[in-house]
A = this chain, B = another copy of it.
Amino acid sequence: MRQAGRSLPEYRKIREKHDLVAITQQPELCAEVTLQPVRRLGVDAAILFADIMTPLLGVGLDVRLVENVGPVLDQPISRAEDMERLRPLEPEQDVPYVLRTLHLLRTMLPPEVGLIGFAGAPFTLASYLVEGRPSRTYARTKQLMYSAPALWAELMNRLAGIVSTYLTAQVQAGAQAVQLFDSWAGCLSVDDYRAYVLPYSANILRAVADAGVPSIHFGTGTSAMLEAMREAGGDVIGVDWRIPLDVAWQRIGYDRGVQGNLDPLALLAPWEVLANACRRVLTQGQGRAGHVFNLGHGVDPSTSPDTLARVVRLVHGEDA
């Protein structure tokens, strides 16, 4: 459950003294924050605590993480000259703390708890870089994509290179699986996704496969493009709550896994409503191997940790 930590008081306490970037850059602290939801909630795997911008901060991009807003660039990417701001990533130099955090986590985690690496996908990263801040419409991003296809290809290639290197390094440092988050790709038509996004995500997912670990390919609002996401790659395809899990899995094909797909806002419902929603997801998963129970998106910060823990128990069959 991504961003589950945000709802935990022990995480908030750490955040009072350290900002997000500071946490990611201190391996002991970052490992602690990564472990908090594992300890408190009893989930089956730990997900590296990092920001989607961590690798781009690593290559020196001037992006600020603004509280309650998100990534902000005072000078958004718009011209050929901006490409130089995205040099290749050298993990040992640029994000040594991420690698050290993963090493630490592998020594700290019990063997039955998996360790999952994490990176944003090129389109989602590009949308922040081009818009300069979070967007509802992605107007500038689409305009660049349509109007300057060569520049777009260059931007996506550079991002795909950075992300491939970043995830491969995470695997070498101990990640046993990785998630590629294309949170905003669902704003595109299927044709645009295929033309402007798929090849770059595919390059990354191929590199991860070559590194020898399974990958989870995640997006939201992707009900219409699940087949194309499958084509891009990923051993497991993330499915948000908009589409019933069984319908999604049938379209994706049973030779791939699926991850999902509880509406994170169902966690704000009374227990019986929430429990029914969880049971529906489990029923639609039909107990097949390859269903990873999860939320369709990140945890809302107002969610009760006790509720999260109870959902985990229900999924584990320990709470009716």
Contacts and interface: CB of A to CB of B under 8 A. Distances in A.
Contacts of A147: 268-270, 273
A151 interface: no
A302 interface: yes
Interface in A184-206: 186-192
A319 to B, nearest CB: 19
Interface in A222-258: 223-225, 241-244, 247
Interface in A118-170: 136-139, 142-143, 146-147
Contact of A139 (B142, B225, B265, B274): B265
A269 B269 CA distance: 43
A189 B146 contact: no
Contact of A243 (B138, B143, B224): B224
Chain A interface size, as a band, is 35 or more
Contacts of A137: 265, 300
A266 interface: yes
A17 to B, nearest CB: 28
Contacts of A273: 146-147
Given A189-B242, A241-B189, A263 B142 contact: yes
A58 interface: no
Contact of A223 (B191, B224, B241): B224
Nearest to A268: B143
A296 to B, nearest CB: 8
Contacts of A192: 263
A280 interface: yes
Contacts of A280: 191
A244 B146 contact: no
A76 interface: no
Contacts of A270: 146-147
A221 interface: yes
Interface in A46-90: none
Contacts of A263: 142, 188-189, 192
A298 to B, nearest CB: 10
Nearest to A136: B136
Interface in A278-301: 280, 300
Interface of A: 136-139, 142-143, 146-147, 186-192, 221, 223-225, 241-244, 247, 263, 265-266, 268-270, 273-274, 280, 300, 302
9 contacts: A142-B269, A146-B273, A147-B268, A147-B269, A186-B221, A187-B242, A188-B242, A189-B243, A192-B263
